[in-house]
Amino acid sequence: MLLLTLGTAAGGGVPQWNCACPGCSGARAHPDRRRSHDSLAVLADDRSSWFLVNAGPDITEHLEAHAELRPGAGCERTPVVRILLTDAELDHTLGLLRLREAHHLEIFATAPVRRALRERLTLDTVLTPYTTITWHELPTAGQAPAVAAGIEVSAVPLSTKRPRYAADAQEDDTWVVAARLHDPARGTTALYAPALAARTEGFTKEAAEADCVFVDGTFWDDEEPRRLGISARTSTGMGHLPIDGPDGTASWLAQLPARCVYTHLNNTNPLVDPSAPQHSTLTGQGLEVAQDGMVIEL
Domains of the chain: 2-293 (3.60.15.10)
Report helix, strand and coil shares of the chain as percent, to nearest 5.
25, 25, 50
Residue type, 146: A
Per-residue model confidence as pLDDT tens digits over 174-186: 999 999 999 999 9
Q: Are 136 and 121 in contact (CB under 8 A)?
A: no
The residues, ordered by sequence, that sit 6+ positions from 74 with a Cβ below 8 Å of its Cβ are: none
Neighbours of 142 (CB within 10 A): 7
> Looking at this protein, which amino acid is placed at residue 50?
W
* DSSP count for the chain of H helices, then E strands: 10, 14
163: preceding bond cis by omega (within 30 degrees):
no
CB-count burial class (<10 Å; 0-12, 13-18, 19+) for 31? exposed
Q: Residue 176: which H helix or E strand, with range? A: strand 176-183
SS3 34: coil
Model pLDDT, residue 160: 96
Neighbouring residues of 128: CB distance < 8 A, sequence distance ≥ 6? none
Would you give per-residue pLDDT tens digits along the chain (298 residues)?
999 999 999 999 999 999 999 999 999 999 999 999 999 999 987 777 899 999 999 999 999 999 989 887 767 778 789 999 999 999 999 999 999 999 999 999 999 999 999 999 999 999 999 999 999 999 997 899 999 999 999 999 999 999 999 999 989 999 999 999 999 999 999 999 999 999 999 999 999 999 999 999 999 999 999 998 889 999 999 999 999 999 899 999 999 999 999 999 999 999 999 999 999 999 999 999 999 999 999 9
pLDDT at 72: 75
Q: How far apart are CA 274 and CA 64, in angstroms?
A: 26
pLDDT, tens digit, 9 for 90 and up, residues 114-137: 999 999 999 999 999 999 999 999
- Cβ burial of 99 (10 Å; 0-12, 13-18, 19+) is buried
Please tell me the distance from the alpha carbon of residue 298 to that of residue 285, in angstroms, as a whole number: 21
- Paired residues of 159 in beta bridges: 176
pLDDT value at residue 46: 72
pLDDT for 246 equals 92
Reported pTM: 0.96
